Amino acid sequence: MKETFEKQNIGICKFCGQKKKLIKAHIIPKNFYLSRKKDRYLCINSKTGEYTFQQNGGYDSNILCSNCDNHILGDFDKEGYRILLGNFHKYKYIQLHPQYKIYQLDSNDFDYTKLRNFFISILWRASVSKLEEWSNINLGGYEKKAYEILKGKKEHNELFKILIYKNCYTEDINQEVLIAKGKTSKYKKYVIQMAGYRIEIMVDSARITNKYRLQYETYFLNSTYAHIIETPEVSRRVNHEYNLRMRELYEKGFVPPKPSSIK
């Protein structure tokens, strides 16, 4: 049975293009599932918004070989983990806005290419996946450009502008993991929520409105600085969206798992 499964799991790796044994590759790295318990995860379908329990989190067994997932893309994952889930309080606090808490990392504190690639790789994995739960994540013509960035062929600096927000609300919301389309008609945007962060990725900066650019361009991830923004405005939005989803689920009869402190 094991031999048969291995033969069935031979395919073309989406990253290296070689025919290899494909593995269970997580779309969002496993370490960013804060609510994981006994390898059971509560995941959100990007298309339907439905919650489902999965034994090993959101993964696809048909997109990546072990070397590409664990070593090449895995190297980007390590930088994301180090920056977002490491010693956050060591980062420099700067007060550029009266209502924001903004933390700044200088160029010697992070690897820009790896950190940028970490966020792009999550979108790329979801886009190349054929699983229904990721079917709403479709980069279209930008999928090839994301691939070129990840392979180090081209930088495409005008693409994939990234804002990093840190949620300042409750743990329940921080345990939510999702990838979704941003609600905007002006430009293509995706939102990644994981481990208490909300990552907003503007796919093509040429389509960003002047008003948005003036307000946020300083904080886009760049080779000189990385900014992590903690703002009640975004946290309230996350909280509102979370409550709407939970209300809809309750109406459908969904019963969420109890906190570990409740028997």
Q: Which pLDDT tens digit goes with each residue over 4-19?
A: 444 568 999 999 999 9
Cα 246 to chain center, whole Å? 21
pLDDT in tens, 207-251: 888 888 888 888 999 999 999 988 766 656 666 565 555 555 555
What is the average pLDDT score of the chain? 80
156 Cβ contact partners less than 8 Å away, ≥ 6 residues apart: 145, 148, 149
Per-residue DSSP letter, 70: I
Single out the residue of 58, 69, 66, 64 nearest to residue 36, CA to CA: 58
Look-up: residue for tokens 């040429």? 206
249 versus 103: the higher-pLDDT residue is 103
- Given this model, what pLDDT does residue 3 score? 46
Per-residue confidence band for 146, with pLDDT thresholds at 50, 70 and 90: very high
- Given this model, what pLDDT does residue 1 score? 41
- Given this model, what pLDDT does residue 55 score? 46
The residues spanned by each domain of the chain are 12-251
Q: Is the pLDDT of residue 46 over 60?
A: no
Contact 100, 2 (CB under 8 A): no
pTM for the whole structure? 0.81
- Given this model, what pLDDT does residue 253 score? 59
- Given this model, what pLDDT does residue 53 score? 54
170 versus 236: the higher-pLDDT residue is 236
42: alpha, beta or left, given left = phi > 0 and alpha = psi -120 to 50? beta
Across-strand partners of 104?
92, 227
Per-residue confidence band for 48, with pLDDT thresholds at 50, 70 and 90: low
Per-residue confidence band for 54, with pLDDT thresholds at 50, 70 and 90: low
147 versus 258: the higher-pLDDT residue is 147
CA dihedral (132, 137, 139, 143) positive or negative: negative
